[in-house]
Amino acid sequence: MDTIIIAIIAGTGLVFTILKIFPIKKALHYDYVFDIFFTIIMPMLFMGSYNGMVLAIISGLTVSVELFFLKMIIGTEPLRKVEG
């Protein structure tokens, strides 16, 4: 049970970090990039134990679900090329 709570907190923290670094609508337009990145990076960070791999899987799932629902609620906006 503790592992699930820690994984949800880790996933939510990663989503908050993404949204603080990038503009929300533009980050949500490219949510698949963050999904792929965290799917690769999270297991590498927590490799070495069964508990760590479960934490990586659940936190990756949490990131995907949160980004999906935020994308539905807020909407997206693609990056634009600046002429100049």
Q: Are 56 and 6 in contact (CB under 8 A)?
A: no
Q: What is the pLDDT of residue 34?
A: 87
Q: What is the pLDDT of residue 73?
A: 93
Q: What is the pLDDT of residue 5?
A: 92
For residue 9, name the pLDDT band (cuts at 50, 70, 90): very high
Residue 74, pLDDT above cutoff 80: yes
pLDDT digits (tens, 9 = 90+) for 17-58: 988 998 888 888 888 888 888 888 888 888 888 888 888 889
The full DSSP string for 14-80 is HHHHHHHHS-HHHHHHTHHHHHHHHHHHHHHHTTTSHHHHHHHHHHHHHHHHHHHHHHHHH------
